[in-house]
Amino acid sequence: MKQKSLWVGLLVGFWFCLTWLGWTPTAAAFSEEQKLLLQSWRLVNQSYLDDTFNHQNWWQIREQFLRKNLNDRAAAYTAIEQMLATLDEPFTRLLRPDQYHNLQISTTGELSGVGLQININPDTGFLEIVAPLPGSPAEAARLKTRDRILSIDGIDTTRLTLDEAAARMRGPAGTKVSLTVLSNGAETSQTVELTRQRIALSPVIATLDRSTDPPVGYVRLNQFSANAAKEVADAVTDLKQQGAKAYILDLRNNPGGLLQAGIEIARMWIDEGTIVYTVNRQGISDSFSALGNALTDAPLAVLVNQGTASASEILAGALQDNHRAILIGEKTFGKGLIQSLFELPDGAGLAVTVAKYETPAHHDIHKVGIVPDRPIAQEPIAYAEIGTEVDHQYKAAIEFLTRDTILAKAS
């Protein structure tokens, strides 16, 4: 009898030891699909900005989706997407392997598609255009910021995730895709057929406007890719050598990109001061500051519009709040959330909203945007018309820099 009690005691002790180490019999039995869902759940659990998880029991959500029939990888992806959808926040999302690969390409090289930056409006749930890429089929078709995309090749976009919509618009160069679009303010929709093409993602275009006195260097930044900071630095240095005495930084229709690129570019214009504050879910604030090595202190005007979003707003807000530049144009998009990208074991990725940012003056611009110092309305113009007589925002910047140079430098 004593021997039997001893064995029971040893088994109970062994069980508690294994439990303390975090092992359970069911954990060893998890399928690869369940493990993928668990890892996705864990990444959100550890880092998601909203620690209420949209006011729901996140552990209970885990158990609910683990009980689903995850028979294959497609079923696991669907379950993860449904799990993340309970957060009701479009920027935290699963990137299937091809989507994750395309995202990596978009920040480093080129892609094939129609050239649209898109977003799901968190207030309306509709798929909207953030900005068409310069020189793209979408830009040639005059699709505009805030236009709604109702369907893609006849498929209702309300049934698609953001990445599914993007994937349907990409494809081999020369192939066609049909979009049903409701223009901002219009009552009836239109259907446009676009031919996909290879789209170079060179982030910077720079020219010197010699028709002005003093000469003005123009730098257009299309997105914050991995090489954006170097290309902006090279452009400013080259324009300075050509004789530029003032600068226009064009962030119109720039949907953002890499946070670090935005910080590095801000440091090229600001010698001292805070560039941006970030706030995590514990309410802990961190900041990034200038490093005292600005490339120039010449007068600067920044062009913004409704397509200026995310990292573009970080840069614009830093320049405005530090009184380094005057902002000209229209109110910006209003995306003040920061995502971290996690790679999953099977080549998929998980984008998780981990923080929000505030401008140096502690403005939270999410869903609000940044109001320019000089509001100037602008009807949509073609890429080739930028910097011409029909570009009223560019003309206002030139007028400011050439007539009020001393005021601009003092500000």
Q: What are the catalytic residues?
A: 310, 321, 335
Bridge partners of 177? Answer: 194
Q: Three-state SS string across 220-251, please?
A: EECCECCCHHHHHHHHHHHHHHHCCCEEEEEC
Dist. CA 357–CA 321, nearest whole Å: 14
Dist. CA 214–CA 212, nearest whole Å: 5
For β-strands 246-250 and 274-279, DSSP reports them as unpaired
Ordered DSSP codes for 50-89: -TTTTTS-HHHHHHHHHTS---SHHHHHHHHHHHHHTT--
Dist. CA 18–CA 381, nearest whole Å: 67
Dist. CA 135–CA 103, nearest whole Å: 20
Dist. CA 190–CA 133, nearest whole Å: 20
In contact, 351 and 290? CB cutoff 8 Å = no
Angle between helices 58-66 and 32-47 (to 10 degrees): 170
Q: In this structure, what token pair is assigned to residue 334?
A: 């209003």
**Would you call the peptide bond into 90 cis, given omega within 30 degrees of 0 as the criterion?**
no
Dist. CA 119–CA 161, nearest whole Å: 10
